[in-house]
A = this chain, B = another copy of it.
Amino acid sequence: MKETPWLDERELDAWLAYLTASHLLERRIEEQLKADSGLTHDQYEILVRLSSAPGRAMRMTELARMVVVSKSGLTYQVGGLEKKGLVERTSCPSDDRGVMAVLTDEGTRCLERTAPGHLAVVRAYLIDHCDPDELTTMTRIMRKAATAMGAFPPTSA
């Protein structure tokens, strides 16, 4: 058991800046999406992931891993999306206990309608503050971090 690897001043600055920015950003995003389209950030993310999946469909568990939400949380959110008619549940052909979440046409339209406002926020508060080098660096850091925490390995299928 060795001594505590405390954070030095530079590290602490970085951590506090990150912490504050990420919390504020999440709040702004949530707020904008709710006001603009009645969607949760998680729900929006679900639509995004589905829209770029083959057949606009995905297994519940994989979807949960992508969006980084608990299984029960996903069940709940997909339930809401289903009620809005943006997503449908179908049974998985290859596995009877599996459930596929499928993006409906209505869901696609909703996403297309909602994306601009959402992206405007992401840009305004984060992306547009980065020059190309900074963007590259951030991507590199975040990828390393995500990998270290066991994010879905690239093309897990």
Report how many copies the assembly holds: 2
Contact between A135 and B21, CB atoms less than 8 A apart: no
Contact between A138 and B135, CB atoms less than 8 A apart: no
- Taking the complex as formed, is A68 at the interface, i.e. its CB lies under 8 A from any CB of chain B? yes
Find A137's partner among B6, B21, B138 (CB 8 Å cutoff). B138
The A interface, classified by DSSP as helix, strand, loop or mixed, is helix
Size of interface on A: residues with Cβ below 8 Å to B: 55
Inside 8 A of A132's CB, which chain B residues have their CB?
10
- Taking the complex as formed, is A27 at the interface, i.e. its CB lies under 8 A from any CB of chain B? yes
Find A25's partner among B17, B26, B123, B149 (CB 8 Å cutoff). B149
Inside 8 A of A4's CB, which chain B residues have their CB?
115-116, 119
CB distance from A3 to the nearest CB of B (A): 9
Interface string of A135-149 (1 = CB under 8 A from B): 111111111111011
